[in-house]
């Protein structure tokens, strides 16, 4: 029995995307709790120092970025090398009227949790007299 030519194409790619979710992905949950918006993001493989949170016009932007450089002391002939890498993931969410001064974030065991209070919106409702 002959094997097709493409049989060995991915022999070194044991972590192929079809078998596992992509490494560079940030899964998020957003919900409301006690008058606040809460964003929980999975940023496994990153340190607290690798994560940046910004706000812009009612949006929260989360960026996680790192560069890793593994140095070898001997001369090796690599068939595949993946340990010299840089990773960057980013997600942005429009939440609307958030009080930017109230935003709090913490990072624990690969999960980033951001809480933002909703802004008090003043009603511009005005009654018009009928003449």
Q: Is the model's pLDDT at 72 over the cut of 70? A: no
| Percentage helix, strand, coil for the chain under 3-state DSSP, each rounded to 5 | 10, 40, 50
The pLDDT score that the predictor gives to residue 74 is 65
Q: Is the model's pLDDT at 102 over the cut of 60? A: yes
If you search the block for the tokens 């980013």, which residue do you land on? Answer: 90
Residues 61/53, Cβ–Cβ less than 8 Å:
yes
Q: Please give the structure tokens belonging to residue 38.
A: 């809460």
Among 123, 91, 108, 118, residue whose Cα is nearest residue 47: 108
Distance CA 128, CA 100 (A): 35
Q: Tell me the average pLDDT across 48-64.
A: 93
pLDDT band at 127 (very low <50, low <70, confident <90, very high): confident
Among 38, 22, 49, residue whose Cα is nearest residue 93: 38
Q: Tell me the average pLDDT across 96-120.
A: 91
Q: Is the model's pLDDT at 25 over the cut of 70? A: yes
Residues 59/38, Cβ–Cβ less than 8 Å:
no
Domains belonging to the chain, first-starting first, are 21-71+83-117 (2.60.40.790)
Specify the higher pLDDT residue, 15 or 124: 124
Please give the span between the terminal C-alpha atoms of the chain, in angstroms, as a whole number: 94
The pTM is what? 0.65
Instruction: Kindly report the backbone phi and psi dihedral angles of residue 94, in degrees, each rounded to the nearest multiple of 5, phi listed first.
Output: -90, 120
């Amino acid at each position: 029995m002959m094997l097709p030519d493409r049989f060995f194409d991915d022999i070194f790619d044991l972590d192929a995307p079809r078998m596992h979710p992509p490494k560079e992905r940030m899964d998020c949950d957003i919900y409301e709790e006690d008058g606040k918006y809460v964003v929980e993001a999975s940023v496994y493989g990153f340190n607290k120092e690798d994560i940046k949170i910004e706000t812009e016009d009612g949006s929260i932007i989360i960026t996680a970025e790192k560069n890793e450089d593994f140095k070898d002391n001997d001369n090796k002939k690599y068939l595949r090398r993946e340990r010299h890498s840089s990773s960057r993931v980013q997600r942005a969410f429009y939440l609307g009227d958030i009080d930017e001064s109230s935003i709090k974030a913490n990072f624990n065991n690969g999960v980033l949790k951001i809480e933002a209070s909703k802004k008090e919106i003043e009603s511009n409702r005005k009654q018009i007299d009928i003449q």
